[in-house]
A and B are shown apart, each in its own frame.
Chain A
Protein backbone atom coordinates (compact mmCIF):
# COMPACT_ATOMS: atom_id res chain seq x y z
CA UNK A 1 0.00 0.00 0.00
CA UNK A 2 1.05 3.62 -0.33
CA UNK A 3 1.82 4.80 3.13
CA UNK A 4 1.42 8.34 4.36
CA UNK A 5 4.57 10.18 5.37
CA UNK A 6 5.09 9.30 9.01
CA UNK A 7 5.12 12.47 11.16
CA UNK A 8 6.03 10.39 14.23
CA UNK A 9 9.20 8.82 12.78
CA UNK A 10 11.99 8.70 15.38
CA UNK A 11 13.99 11.91 15.18
CA UNK A 12 17.29 11.86 13.31
CA UNK A 13 20.36 13.79 14.39
CA UNK A 14 20.65 17.44 13.52
CA UNK A 15 23.83 17.83 11.48
CA UNK A 16 26.59 16.33 13.67
CA UNK A 17 29.33 18.28 11.81
CA UNK A 18 27.54 21.60 12.35
CA UNK A 19 26.93 20.72 16.01
CA UNK A 20 30.65 20.05 16.46
CA UNK A 21 31.45 23.35 14.75
CA UNK A 22 29.18 25.26 17.15
CA UNK A 23 30.93 23.58 20.08
CA UNK A 24 34.33 24.62 18.71
CA UNK A 25 33.11 28.24 18.33
CA UNK A 26 31.89 28.24 21.94
CA UNK A 27 35.06 26.63 23.31
CA UNK A 28 37.42 28.91 21.41
CA UNK A 29 35.56 32.14 22.16
CA UNK A 30 35.46 31.37 25.88
CA UNK A 31 38.70 29.45 26.27
CA UNK A 32 36.98 26.47 27.90
CA UNK A 33 38.94 23.61 29.48
CA UNK A 34 38.34 19.95 28.61
CA UNK A 35 36.41 19.39 31.82
CA UNK A 36 33.71 21.82 30.66
CA UNK A 37 30.98 20.07 28.65
CA UNK A 38 29.16 21.94 25.89
CA UNK A 39 25.80 20.54 24.86
CA UNK A 40 24.07 21.64 21.63
CA UNK A 41 20.48 20.54 21.03
CA UNK A 42 17.89 21.40 18.42
CA UNK A 43 14.57 21.56 20.20
CA UNK A 44 11.25 21.05 18.47
CA UNK A 45 8.62 21.47 21.16
CA UNK A 46 4.92 20.72 20.65
CA UNK A 47 3.78 22.89 23.55
CA UNK A 48 1.82 26.04 22.79
CA UNK A 49 3.98 29.09 23.43
CA UNK A 50 7.29 27.33 22.78
CA UNK A 51 9.13 28.31 19.57
CA UNK A 52 8.68 25.79 16.73
CA UNK A 53 12.41 25.30 16.51
CA UNK A 54 15.22 26.43 18.75
CA UNK A 55 18.90 25.69 19.28
CA UNK A 56 19.78 25.40 22.94
CA UNK A 57 23.41 25.48 24.04
CA UNK A 58 24.34 24.44 27.58
CA UNK A 59 27.77 25.25 28.96
CA UNK A 60 28.37 22.93 31.88
CA UNK A 61 31.26 23.86 34.14
CA UNK A 62 31.92 21.48 37.05
CA UNK A 63 30.29 22.73 40.23
CA UNK A 64 28.65 25.74 38.54
CA UNK A 65 25.15 26.52 37.34
CA UNK A 66 24.60 25.65 33.66
CA UNK A 67 24.98 28.66 31.37
CA UNK A 68 22.29 28.50 28.70
CA UNK A 69 22.19 30.19 25.29
CA UNK A 70 18.92 29.97 23.32
CA UNK A 71 18.79 30.81 19.63
CA UNK A 72 15.45 30.88 17.81
CA UNK A 73 16.75 29.10 14.74
CA UNK A 74 17.73 25.63 13.57
CA UNK A 75 21.26 24.31 14.12
CA UNK A 76 21.82 24.53 10.35
CA UNK A 77 21.22 28.30 10.42
CA UNK A 78 23.43 29.16 13.42
CA UNK A 79 26.55 31.21 12.60
CA UNK A 80 29.40 32.26 14.85
CA UNK A 81 27.92 35.79 14.90
CA UNK A 82 24.81 34.46 16.69
CA UNK A 83 26.84 33.41 19.71
CA UNK A 84 27.28 35.92 22.53
CA UNK A 85 30.85 36.51 23.60
CA UNK A 86 31.70 34.94 26.94
Chain B
Protein backbone atom coordinates (compact mmCIF):
# COMPACT_ATOMS: atom_id res chain seq x y z
CA UNK B 1 0.00 0.00 0.00
CA UNK B 2 1.35 3.43 -0.92
CA UNK B 3 1.43 5.89 1.98
CA UNK B 4 0.60 9.51 1.24
CA UNK B 5 3.48 11.93 1.74
CA UNK B 6 3.75 13.42 5.19
CA UNK B 7 2.50 16.98 5.47
CA UNK B 8 5.29 19.41 6.46
CA UNK B 9 4.59 21.58 9.51
CA UNK B 10 6.33 24.86 10.32
CA UNK B 11 6.04 26.23 13.85
CA UNK B 12 6.23 29.99 14.22
CA UNK B 13 7.20 31.26 17.67
CA UNK B 14 8.31 34.61 19.00
CA UNK B 15 7.78 36.98 21.84
CA UNK B 16 4.89 39.45 21.80
CA UNK B 17 5.23 42.09 19.09
CA UNK B 18 8.25 40.51 17.39
CA UNK B 19 6.53 40.32 14.00
CA UNK B 20 5.02 36.80 13.77
CA UNK B 21 1.73 38.02 12.35
CA UNK B 22 3.54 40.13 9.72
CA UNK B 23 5.38 37.02 8.56
CA UNK B 24 2.21 34.94 8.69
CA UNK B 25 0.32 37.43 6.51
CA UNK B 26 3.20 37.42 4.01
CA UNK B 27 3.13 33.63 3.79
CA UNK B 28 -0.63 33.73 3.23
CA UNK B 29 -0.66 36.45 0.59
CA UNK B 30 2.55 36.09 -1.46
CA UNK B 31 2.82 33.84 -4.50
CA UNK B 32 5.16 31.01 -3.54
CA UNK B 33 3.32 28.10 -5.05
CA UNK B 34 2.23 26.48 -1.78
CA UNK B 35 -1.13 26.50 -0.04
CA UNK B 36 -0.99 26.65 3.77
CA UNK B 37 -3.45 25.59 6.40
CA UNK B 38 -2.79 27.83 9.39
CA UNK B 39 -3.35 27.20 13.08
CA UNK B 40 -3.39 30.52 14.93
CA UNK B 41 -4.02 31.66 18.47
CA UNK B 42 -5.39 35.09 17.62
CA UNK B 43 -7.85 34.71 14.77
CA UNK B 44 -8.55 38.43 14.39
CA UNK B 45 -4.94 39.39 13.65
CA UNK B 46 -4.73 37.48 10.39
CA UNK B 47 -5.94 39.72 7.60
CA UNK B 48 -7.38 36.89 5.54
CA UNK B 49 -10.69 35.10 5.58
CA UNK B 50 -10.14 31.44 4.79
CA UNK B 51 -11.63 28.25 6.19
CA UNK B 52 -8.15 26.73 6.37
CA UNK B 53 -7.26 29.20 9.12
CA UNK B 54 -8.14 27.52 12.40
CA UNK B 55 -8.29 29.07 15.83
CA UNK B 56 -6.64 27.19 18.71
CA UNK B 57 -6.75 27.26 22.48
CA UNK B 58 -3.21 25.95 23.19
CA UNK B 59 -4.46 23.08 25.36
CA UNK B 60 -1.65 21.10 26.96
CA UNK B 61 -2.14 17.30 27.18
CA UNK B 62 -0.06 15.58 29.87
CA UNK B 63 0.07 12.04 28.53
CA UNK B 64 1.98 10.92 31.59
CA UNK B 65 1.13 12.82 34.77
CA UNK B 66 3.51 15.74 35.13
CA UNK B 67 6.29 14.33 32.93
CA UNK B 68 7.42 17.24 30.75
CA UNK B 69 8.72 14.91 28.04
CA UNK B 70 5.32 13.25 27.60
CA UNK B 71 3.47 16.55 27.43
CA UNK B 72 2.02 17.45 24.05
CA UNK B 73 -0.55 19.87 22.68
CA UNK B 74 -4.00 18.28 22.64
CA UNK B 75 -5.47 21.06 20.51
CA UNK B 76 -2.92 20.36 17.77
CA UNK B 77 -3.75 16.64 17.72
CA UNK B 78 -7.44 17.48 17.38
CA UNK B 79 -6.99 20.22 14.74
CA UNK B 80 -4.48 18.26 12.65
CA UNK B 81 -6.83 15.26 12.60
CA UNK B 82 -9.62 17.49 11.37
CA UNK B 83 -7.42 19.33 8.82
CA UNK B 84 -6.06 16.09 7.38
CA UNK B 85 -9.59 15.10 6.32
CA UNK B 86 -9.19 17.98 3.80
CA UNK B 87 -5.57 17.29 2.93
CA UNK B 88 -6.12 17.77 -0.80
CA UNK B 89 -6.79 21.47 -0.21
CA UNK B 90 -3.34 22.47 1.12
CA UNK B 91 0.35 21.54 0.85
CA UNK B 92 1.69 22.38 4.30
CA UNK B 93 0.68 23.48 7.78
CA UNK B 94 1.82 26.54 9.70
CA UNK B 95 1.33 26.83 13.47
CA UNK B 96 1.55 30.23 15.11
CA UNK B 97 2.00 30.12 18.89
CA UNK B 98 1.34 32.87 21.40
CA UNK B 99 4.26 34.96 22.60
CA UNK B 100 4.25 33.11 25.92
CA UNK B 101 3.81 29.55 24.63
CA UNK B 102 6.29 26.86 25.68
CA UNK B 103 7.67 25.42 22.41
CA UNK B 104 8.45 21.99 23.93
CA UNK B 105 4.91 20.52 23.94
CA UNK B 106 4.40 21.83 20.39
CA UNK B 107 7.57 20.11 19.11
CA UNK B 108 6.92 16.94 21.13
CA UNK B 109 3.46 16.53 19.60
CA UNK B 110 5.20 15.63 16.33
CA UNK B 111 7.40 12.96 17.95
CA UNK B 112 5.10 11.44 20.57
CA UNK B 113 1.61 11.18 19.10
CA UNK B 114 1.41 8.28 16.62
CA UNK B 115 -1.47 9.70 14.56
CA UNK B 116 0.26 13.03 14.11
CA UNK B 117 3.59 11.32 13.31
CA UNK B 118 1.98 9.19 10.65
CA UNK B 119 0.43 12.11 8.82
CA UNK B 120 2.82 15.01 9.35
CA UNK B 121 6.48 15.87 9.89
CA UNK B 122 7.92 18.81 11.74
CA UNK B 123 9.76 20.89 9.15
CA UNK B 124 11.29 23.63 11.31
CA UNK B 125 10.76 25.86 14.32
CA UNK B 126 11.03 29.49 13.25
CA UNK B 127 11.46 32.10 15.98
CA UNK B 128 10.91 35.77 15.18
CA UNK B 129 12.71 38.22 17.47
CA UNK B 130 12.68 42.00 17.72
CA UNK B 131 16.26 43.34 17.39
CA UNK B 132 15.39 46.44 19.40
CA UNK B 133 13.82 44.69 22.41
CA UNK B 134 15.32 41.20 22.44
CA UNK B 135 18.08 41.79 25.00
CA UNK B 136 15.62 43.24 27.49
CA UNK B 137 13.15 40.38 26.87
CA UNK B 138 15.89 37.79 27.36
CA UNK B 139 16.79 39.37 30.70
CA UNK B 140 13.21 39.27 31.94
CA UNK B 141 11.42 36.31 30.36
CA UNK B 142 12.44 32.67 30.36
CA UNK B 143 9.94 32.10 27.54
CA UNK B 144 11.95 34.38 25.25
CA UNK B 145 15.11 32.33 25.94
CA UNK B 146 13.37 29.01 25.43
CA UNK B 147 11.81 30.11 22.14
CA UNK B 148 15.34 30.93 20.93
CA UNK B 149 16.70 27.65 22.27
CA UNK B 150 14.22 25.60 20.24
CA UNK B 151 14.68 27.54 16.99
CA UNK B 152 16.05 26.09 13.77
CA UNK B 153 15.74 29.50 12.13
CA UNK B 154 15.84 32.84 13.94
CA UNK B 155 14.42 35.83 12.08
CA UNK B 156 16.18 38.82 13.59
CA UNK B 157 13.54 41.41 12.72
CA UNK B 158 13.42 45.21 12.89
CA UNK B 159 17.17 45.49 12.26
CA UNK B 160 16.60 49.04 10.99
CA UNK B 161 15.79 50.14 14.53
CA UNK B 162 19.23 49.37 16.01
CA UNK B 163 22.78 50.55 15.37
CA UNK B 164 25.25 48.05 13.80
CA UNK B 165 27.15 47.59 17.08
CA UNK B 166 23.93 46.87 18.95
CA UNK B 167 22.89 44.42 16.25
CA UNK B 168 26.19 42.59 16.70
CA UNK B 169 25.61 42.32 20.43
CA UNK B 170 22.10 40.97 19.87
CA UNK B 171 23.37 38.37 17.42
CA UNK B 172 26.14 37.30 19.82
CA UNK B 173 23.58 36.80 22.59
CA UNK B 174 21.40 34.69 20.25
CA UNK B 175 24.45 32.59 19.35
CA UNK B 176 25.25 32.03 23.00
CA UNK B 177 21.82 30.55 23.60
CA UNK B 178 21.53 28.73 20.28
CA UNK B 179 24.71 28.19 18.25
CA UNK B 180 23.09 25.97 15.62
CA UNK B 181 20.15 28.05 14.38
CA UNK B 182 20.35 29.90 11.07
CA UNK B 183 19.97 33.64 11.72
CA UNK B 184 18.27 35.76 9.06
CA UNK B 185 18.17 39.56 9.36
CA UNK B 186 15.00 41.33 8.31
CA UNK B 187 13.02 44.55 8.29
CA UNK B 188 9.26 43.94 8.60
CA UNK B 189 10.02 40.22 8.23
CA UNK B 190 11.15 40.72 4.61
CA UNK B 191 13.22 37.52 4.65
CA UNK B 192 13.01 35.34 1.48
CA UNK B 193 10.33 32.76 2.26
CA UNK B 194 12.39 29.90 0.86
CA UNK B 195 14.80 30.51 3.76
CA UNK B 196 11.98 29.85 6.23
CA UNK B 197 9.73 27.23 4.65
CA UNK B 198 10.54 23.69 3.52
CA UNK B 199 13.80 23.45 5.50
CA UNK B 200 13.53 19.82 6.72
CA UNK B 201 15.46 20.92 9.80
CA UNK B 202 14.39 17.88 11.86
CA UNK B 203 15.53 15.34 9.24
CA UNK B 204 18.50 13.52 10.74
CA UNK B 205 20.48 13.99 7.54
CA UNK B 206 20.19 17.80 7.90
CA UNK B 207 21.31 17.98 11.53
CA UNK B 208 24.10 20.50 12.16
CA UNK B 209 24.07 21.84 8.61
CA UNK B 210 25.22 25.25 9.78
CA UNK B 211 28.36 27.24 9.41
CA UNK B 212 30.80 25.26 11.60
CA UNK B 213 32.70 28.37 12.75
CA UNK B 214 29.81 29.30 14.98
CA UNK B 215 30.04 26.00 16.78
CA UNK B 216 33.69 26.40 17.64
CA UNK B 217 33.50 30.03 18.68
CA UNK B 218 33.84 30.93 22.34
CA UNK B 219 30.90 33.04 23.40
CA UNK B 220 30.90 35.90 25.85
CA UNK B 221 29.73 35.00 29.34
CA UNK B 222 28.63 38.30 30.79
CA UNK B 223 24.96 37.29 30.97
CA UNK B 224 23.59 34.82 33.42
CA UNK B 225 21.13 33.26 30.99
CA UNK B 226 18.64 30.66 32.10
CA UNK B 227 19.31 28.78 28.86
CA UNK B 228 22.83 28.29 27.54
CA UNK B 229 24.65 26.07 25.09
CA UNK B 230 27.97 24.36 24.62
CA UNK B 231 29.55 22.16 21.99
CA UNK B 232 31.91 19.23 22.47
CA UNK B 233 34.37 18.31 19.75
CA UNK B 234 36.94 15.58 19.25
CA UNK B 235 38.93 14.39 16.26
CA UNK B 236 39.46 10.97 17.87
CA UNK B 237 37.14 8.18 16.72
CA UNK B 238 34.25 7.32 19.03
CA UNK B 239 33.50 3.82 20.29
CA UNK B 240 29.77 3.16 19.70
CA UNK B 241 29.75 0.53 22.49
CA UNK B 242 30.55 3.34 24.94
CA UNK B 243 28.77 6.22 23.24
CA UNK B 244 25.31 4.73 22.65
CA UNK B 245 24.62 3.76 26.30
CA UNK B 246 26.28 6.98 27.49
CA UNK B 247 24.09 9.32 25.43
CA UNK B 248 20.98 7.40 26.55
CA UNK B 249 22.05 7.79 30.17
CA UNK B 250 22.73 11.54 29.71
CA UNK B 251 19.33 11.99 28.08
CA UNK B 252 17.61 10.12 30.89
CA UNK B 253 19.46 12.01 33.60
CA UNK B 254 19.41 15.55 32.18
CA UNK B 255 16.61 15.37 29.57
CA UNK B 256 14.23 17.59 31.52
CA UNK B 257 16.70 20.46 31.23
CA UNK B 258 18.09 19.49 27.82
CA UNK B 259 15.94 21.47 25.41
CA UNK B 260 17.71 20.39 22.24
CA UNK B 261 20.80 18.34 21.44
CA UNK B 262 22.32 17.61 18.05
CA UNK B 263 25.45 15.75 17.03
CA UNK B 264 27.47 14.04 14.35
CA UNK B 265 29.75 11.17 15.37
CA UNK B 266 32.64 9.42 13.66
CA UNK B 267 32.52 5.85 14.96
CA UNK B 268 35.72 3.81 14.78
CA UNK B 269 35.89 1.69 11.62
CA UNK B 270 32.59 3.05 10.34
CA UNK B 271 32.51 4.80 6.96
CA UNK B 272 29.19 6.50 7.64
CA UNK B 273 28.44 9.50 9.82
CA UNK B 274 26.19 8.74 12.80
CA UNK B 275 23.74 11.56 13.52
CA UNK B 276 21.84 12.15 16.78
CA UNK B 277 19.26 14.66 17.95
CA UNK B 278 17.04 15.10 20.98
CA UNK B 279 14.19 17.27 22.20
CA UNK B 280 14.21 16.77 25.98
CA UNK B 281 14.24 12.95 26.43
CA UNK B 282 13.05 12.19 22.92
CA UNK B 283 16.30 10.90 21.47
CA UNK B 284 16.93 9.44 18.03
CA UNK B 285 19.98 8.66 15.95
CA UNK B 286 21.00 6.79 12.84
CA UNK B 287 23.71 6.30 10.26
CA UNK B 288 23.68 8.72 7.35
CA UNK B 289 25.87 9.45 4.38
CA UNK B 290 29.51 8.30 4.27
CA UNK B 291 32.26 10.69 5.36
CA UNK B 292 33.61 12.42 2.24
CA UNK B 293 37.24 11.80 1.23
CA UNK B 294 38.49 15.29 2.12
CA UNK B 295 36.14 15.70 5.10
CA UNK B 296 37.70 15.79 8.57
CA UNK B 297 36.26 12.97 10.72
CA UNK B 298 35.32 15.24 13.60
CA UNK B 299 32.73 14.20 16.19
CA UNK B 300 30.64 17.05 17.53
CA UNK B 301 27.77 17.34 20.01
CA UNK B 302 25.86 20.56 20.70
CA UNK B 303 23.75 20.84 23.86
CA UNK B 304 21.21 23.62 24.48
CA UNK B 305 19.62 23.59 27.92
CA UNK B 306 19.12 24.95 31.40
CA UNK B 307 22.13 24.74 33.68
CA UNK B 308 23.53 21.57 32.12
CA UNK B 309 26.76 20.35 33.81
CA UNK B 310 29.17 20.93 30.93
CA UNK B 311 32.26 19.55 32.71
CA UNK B 312 30.60 16.30 33.63
CA UNK B 313 29.06 15.79 30.17
CA UNK B 314 32.33 16.67 28.43
CA UNK B 315 34.26 14.25 30.63
CA UNK B 316 31.84 11.43 29.80
CA UNK B 317 31.93 12.23 26.08
CA UNK B 318 35.73 12.16 25.97
CA UNK B 319 35.69 8.77 27.71
CA UNK B 320 33.69 7.48 24.74
CA UNK B 321 36.76 7.91 22.51
CA UNK B 322 37.88 4.60 21.05
CA UNK B 323 41.51 5.20 22.08
CA UNK B 324 40.61 5.70 25.73
CA UNK B 325 40.88 2.53 27.74
CA UNK B 326 37.97 3.24 30.00
CA UNK B 327 34.60 1.86 30.89
CA UNK B 328 33.81 4.79 33.15
CA UNK B 329 31.84 6.89 30.68
CA UNK B 330 28.60 5.81 32.30
CA UNK B 331 29.61 7.12 35.69
CA UNK B 332 28.33 10.64 35.03
Contact = CB atoms under 8 A, between A and B. Distances in A.
Interface of A: 1, 3-4, 6-11, 13-14, 16, 19, 35, 37, 39-43, 45-48, 50-51, 54, 56, 58, 60, 62, 66, 68, 70
Interface string B252-267: 1001100000000000
B63 A43 contact: yes
Contact of A40 (B69, B114, B248): B114
Nearest to A56: B63
Q: Which 7 A-B pairs have the closest CB atoms?
A: A8-B285, A46-B252, A56-B63, A60-B78, A37-B78, A46-B281, A37-B81
Contacts of A48: 252
A8 B284 contact: yes
Main secondary structure on chain A at its contact with chain B? Answer: loop
Interface string B156-180: 0000000000000000000000000
Interface string B97-132: 000000000000000111101100000000000000
B178 to A, nearest CB: 23
B286 A43 contact: no
Contacts of A66: 59, 61, 74
B271 to A, nearest CB: 8
Given A50-B67, A58-B77, A60-B74, A8 B244 contact: yes
A48 B240 CA distance: 24
A25 to B, nearest CB: 16
A50 B77 contact: no
A24 to B, nearest CB: 14
Contacts of B82: 35, 37
A3 B287 contact: yes
